[in-house]
Amino acid sequence: MTLQQWCFSFKGRIGRRDFWIWMGTWVVLMAAAFTLANYDLVAIQSIAFFIVALLWPTSAVLVKRLHDRNKAGWWALLLILAWMLAAGNWQMLAPVWQWGIGRFIPTLIIVMMMIDLGAFVGTEGDNRFGPEAERVKFR
């Protein structure tokens, strides 16, 4: 798999190694972006554009990893649900429900997705999403 297919195509499968390489790259890019914004070296609007630009490759990597686990890419929408629950204003609910809906459920979704995608081995051989995952050629 080429670097372009890895970051921009939703077809195919990737293994755990390539998934964690992207997650590590994403964390470093986010830390650098927010550090630059914190010191007023880059406008916050530029950082917002940068984050939106990273949505496509992140989605592509997540979907391909889900395909390797023989799951449809639609399961990635659970992460959007987790983000929406975490960002919601739950002040109208009792404190235990505020914590449950606004913190516990999103955290549970994210942790379960990371365990499923990052720890479990993909399907052996071919599955409905294509042949077995091949490593990304970074050079």
List, for residues 29-41, the tens digit of each pLDDT value.
999 999 999 999 9
- Give the Cα separation of 113 and 15 in Å (integer): 15
Whole-prediction pTM:
0.89
Q: What are phi and psi of 130, to 5 degrees?
A: 130, -170
Residues 62/55, Cβ–Cβ less than 8 Å: no
Buried b (16+ CB within 10 A) or exposed e, 24-42: eeeeeeeeebeebbeeeeb
List, for residues 103-137, the tens digit of each pLDDT value.
999 999 999 999 999 999 999 999 999 999 888 88
Closest CA to 48 of 31, 29, 33, 68: 33
